[in-house]
Each structure stands twice: as C-alpha cells, then as structure tokens.
Amino acid sequence: MGNTDKVSLDKQDFGSDFKWGVSVAAYQIEGAHNCDDKGLSIWDVFTTVKGKIRNGEHANVSCDFFNNYKQDIDLIKKLNIPNFRFSISWSRLLPDGKDRISQEGISFYHKVIDYCLESGIEPWVTIYHWDLPQALELLGGWTNREIVKWFSDFVSLCAASFGSKVKHWMVMNEPTVFVGAGYFLGIHAPGRRGLKNFLPAIHHTVLSLAAGGRVLRTLLPTANIGTTFSCSHIEPQTTAKRDKQAAIRVDALINRMFIEPILGLGYPFDDLPVLKKIKKYIKEGDKEAMIFNFDFIGLQNYTREIVTHSFLTPYVWAKIIPANKRKVPTTLMKWEVYPTSIYEIIKKYNAYPQINKILITENGAAFQDHVLENNEVNDVERTNYLKEHLAQILKAKQDGYKVEGYFVWTLTDNFEWAEGYYPRFGLIHVDFNTQTRTIKNSGYWYSDFLK
C-alpha cells in the first residue's frame, strides 16, 4: 500500500453535514440462532451443508451481539462513531417468513434501537441483509413472484414496529451479491445455480426493492429512505476491442443490473444481451413498478476488477484477472488494494441525474490481525486502507461529486459468509472463544479522526 504519512485528512474538510458511521449485518454478528422463537434463515441451513463454508464454520454464536449489544454499542460510543448501520433478521421477526409475528424478536430490536438513542447514536436500519427465512426459500424464495408481497409485508412490519424511532432506512443490501452468489453461482445461501434461478430472482428482487421503498414512503413519509449496491470499478486488461467490450458486459452485470431499472432506465439489455431472457418474467405494469425515487443510494466499494475477453465463460464472455496474478497489493480476501476505485465509483454514479444523494455505506479491509502481548492490535494496513480511501472520497467531494457519508465495514470481526471467520474486517478484534473485544489501532485512528 502507499505511504499514508502523506495523506493529510481533517474531518472538517468533509463538511459539517457529512455522515460518519459503521456498518454490521444481523446474521454475521447476532448469534442466538435459535433463541426465543426465531425461525431458520437460509444461512442457518446453508452453513450445515458440508463443504460450503471454510472450516465448516457457522454463525450460531458468532460475536453474540444478541447478548452483547450493550457492550458493542458502548464501544461505538467510545470510538466517537455517531451513526450505526445494522440489519433486522427477517426470521427473528417472522419465524415462518410471513403471518406469525415474534414479539420477542420485535422486543430485541427495540432494545438495540433504544440503547443506541440513549447513547447518542443514530440507528440506520437495513431491512434485508441476505438472511431470507428458510420457510420462504422452500416456497421458491426470490424465484417466486409472491416474494414481492412477502417482502412488502416484512417492510410494513419493520416500519410499523420501529418507524417512530428510526429515521434512516435501507431497503436491501447488495442485491447483485445475494442474487448472483446465491441463485446463480451457488456459493452463498441458498446455494442455487443457473439462469433458471438467477433471472427470476433478479426481477423479483428489483420489484421488491421498489415495493419496499414505496411501503416505507407511505407509512413513514418523513423518513430518509435508501438502499445499497455493491460496486467495483471495472477496467479492461488491454485496449483491444474485445477486452473493452468484455469490461462493458461485466460492468453491466456488477454495477448496473439493479440500479438502472430502479432509476427508470430498464435493464441494460444492449450491453448484457443474456438479460433479454428476463423478459419472460416481466408482466404488464412491471416497468413502472420497478421504479422508486430513493432519497439516497448507498455505494459499497472494496476494490477494482481487471477484465479480459473469454470464450470459456458463458453469458458474459469475460473473465476477471485475479489480483494475485497481477502482482498487486491485496487484502486477505485476495482483493486488490486500489483506493482510486472508490473515486471512480462515486464519479460513475454521479453521472445518473436521477440519484439524489450518495453515501458510502460500506468500505473496509480484511488482514491478518493478532492481539499482541500488550493487548494491542497493530493493524497498520487497515488504517492505511481507510485513510487512502477517505482521501479519494474527499477528492471526489472537492471535485464536485455528490457524496455525503462514509460507513466503515465493520465494527467487530464477524462471520464473513462463505469465508467463515478467517477474514477479519473489524475495527474491533473478537476472540470467538471468549467473546473478548479488543479495539484495534485502526479503531483508535478512526476514533481520533472523528473526535
């Protein structure tokens, strides 16, 4: 990584209205997988399938946020972080996915929200962060068009339960990832593969995203309503025409497939022709039903991808050149460390005039972290990563691009989906055997910066 001694950052340069925060997700931190009457989620089930998760790990306990939420919110306060983004477990509120409501589940999130507010921390709630109730997956999950109603009802329950206390809402987290990895590649829950699952799941997710936005707008007219998208800056490996065209297709798949229909631009059929097969799932009135005017869009960026043409990859005819093959600095996730990517992503989404406001709702890095004998975690690489990315965000802001907030991924080390507990992203180290929390030097740096 570059030398960050030259990176001079002052919180004031971002403006007094800039939102600073930290992000987490329910399944990754809560544990208490069978506490009270919580139902199974697709991740509760997927983690029991042999060979799906590194070392056969699961999040049945994880950081045990369910029992440690006060301690963790105290740490957020100690680190001077004013905004806390967390998600609501669908199957904790609706154990069967629909109809039967868990009062214990509702009570838990009231306790979390109340303790945030008592601590002077603003809650930002993500309604769906990948943990679909298994009962709904057995009915087809995101491939079943009925999910638009199921999801709308879940959003209604969240709004009715917590809307008097929560001002900031995000409808979904990274649809490209949960649909692509879960319903096409099969490497995430629920482990389905192929176009026959992928295409209907894309369309029903888009319809649900917009429907969820409309439910919130109707029930909570003064709320700040957004949603989040994962984005990677895409570049062709060479200037050859076929590499450039491959990069355009990958960009359409990764960066445009969900946001453009929401903005009223439709699916990027011309740049990703395989998407035309989605037309058989589009019904009369869907084009309008796919559109919603969000108050803000959350962008989540970690890296860039270099793309080359490939005859061997069906549908996109492109492949990503792994960062380790390119001999560039990487994180533990084997993602390239390329801070300019976040500038390019902000610039790219600023080109959509339909977007009102942009926040970076996730950015962070996983490295090998160890607690030293003096109880210190000297994670200099993560501190440098955060500084360099913030410098690029500031540059984007100074260049006149809209960007109005930054949330670090993540608060505590946690369960990182298919990678289990190997990659540690937290500002706070967790010993998963003892649940001991140790603030890393990156956490202290962020705290000092925010102070």
CA 412 to chain centre: 15
Residue 219 is encoded by which pair of tokens?
Answer: 């029930």
Taking the C-alpha atoms of residue 78 and residue 55, their distance in angstroms, rounded to an integer, is: 34
Instruction: Give the SS3 label for residue 128.
Output: strand
**146 a catalytic residue:** no
Candidates 235, 362, 388, 416; catalytic one: 362
Taking the C-alpha atoms of residue 264 and residue 189, their distance in angstroms, rounded to an integer, is: 29
Task: Establish how many alpha carbons lie within 13 A of residue 92's alpha carbon, considering only the half-sphere containing its beta carbon.
Answer: 25
Q: Comparing C-alpha atoms, which of 446, 402, 403, 404 is closest to residue 426? A: 446
CA 317 to chain centre: 27
Question: Partners of 310 in the beta sheet?
Answer: none
Residue 41 is encoded by which pair of tokens?
Answer: 């989620």
Helix or strand holding residue 171 (H, E): strand 168-173
Q: Comparing C-alpha atoms, which of 200, 32, 225 is closest to residue 131? A: 32
Taking the C-alpha atoms of residue 296 and residue 209, their distance in angstroms, rounded to an integer, is: 14
Helix axes 380-398, 441-450, angle to 10 degrees: 30
**174 a catalytic residue:** yes
Residue carrying the six token digits 């709320």: 223
Helix or strand holding residue 183 (H, E): helix 175-183
> Cβ(308)–Cβ(248) under 8 Å?
no
> Cβ(228)–Cβ(362) under 8 Å?
yes
Taking the C-alpha atoms of residue 83 and residue 22, their distance in angstroms, rounded to an integer, is: 7
Candidates 174, 260, 344, 416; catalytic one: 174
Tell me the chain's radius of gyration from C-alpha atoms. 21
Taking the C-alpha atoms of residue 428 and residue 175, their distance in angstroms, rounded to an integer, is: 27
Taking the C-alpha atoms of residue 69 and residue 80, their distance in angstroms, rounded to an integer, is: 17
- The residues that are catalytic are 174, 362
